Structure 1
């Protein structure tokens, strides 16, 4: 178990004194917080945030959310300033993370955002509405 020296000092500063029972009570409260936080991770938890950690992938998700439908790879390529292979790689990463869905029709691949992607964007930028727009215009 971790040392509680600093916790004892915090309680003493806040309450004027601290005994072992005070520390035990606070540790129990903190353990309840940990239980409510649900620190169990799924394999995709870290992948989701990693997938949104580059400007290109974040831009692609924003574009797909703003499109309010599907876009073909060839429609995304002129909108982001990276190579064709970088767009394909970004889309693969986003698909693996569960942030976009892919549909193949003949030789064309179409992508659309998942509800999770739209929710994450809305949470990260409260100025965005569900369609990826801000104040009536397309989000930058």
Structure 2
């Protein structure tokens, strides 16, 4: 149950949810620098949000030079697909 709550809490914030959607919709890893500009919050806030998503097992990260790139995990893909399905059934 603790793991479930950690995942749900991680996506229970507007910024983290938007970041996860953007990462999931990208064709390849997304750089922190691109995410910062896209969501309009500080680099510090983006880094904290990504750290929370990473800890919850929703994104992976890799370092290339001085940049980190994020990609969705299978858990994130399944969660977002479920949310899309639920939204579709209520429209």
The answer to whether TM tops 0.5 is: yes
Q: Which has the higher contact order (CA 8 A, sep 6+)?
A: 2
Paired residue for 1:79? 38
User: C-alpha root-mean-square deviation of aligned residues, in Å?
Assistant: 1.6
Q: Cα distance, 1:127 vs. partner?
A: 8.2
Contiguous gaps of at least 5 residues in structure 1: 1-40, 129-140
Q: What does the per-residue CA deviation read over 1:106-129, in whole Å, with 9 as the maximum and x for residues that have no partner?
A: 21101001011011011011289x
Paired residue for 1:64? 23
Question: May I ask how many residue pairs the two structures share in their alignment?
Answer: 87
Structure number with larger C-alpha Rg? 1
Q: Cα distance, 1:68 vs. partner?
A: 2.7
Runs (4+) of structure 1 moved beyond 4 Å?
A: none
Contiguous gaps of at least 5 residues in structure 2: none
Is the counterpart of residue 97 in structure 1 residue 52 in structure 2? Answer: no
Q: What does the per-residue CA deviation read over 1:57-82, in whole Å, with 9 as the maximum and x for residues that have no partner?
A: 00000001110320010011111021
Q: TM-score, normalised by structure 2?
A: 0.88
Q: TM-score, normalised by structure 1?
A: 0.59
Cα distance between partner residues in 2 of 1:50 and 1:123: 16
Paired residue for 1:55? 14
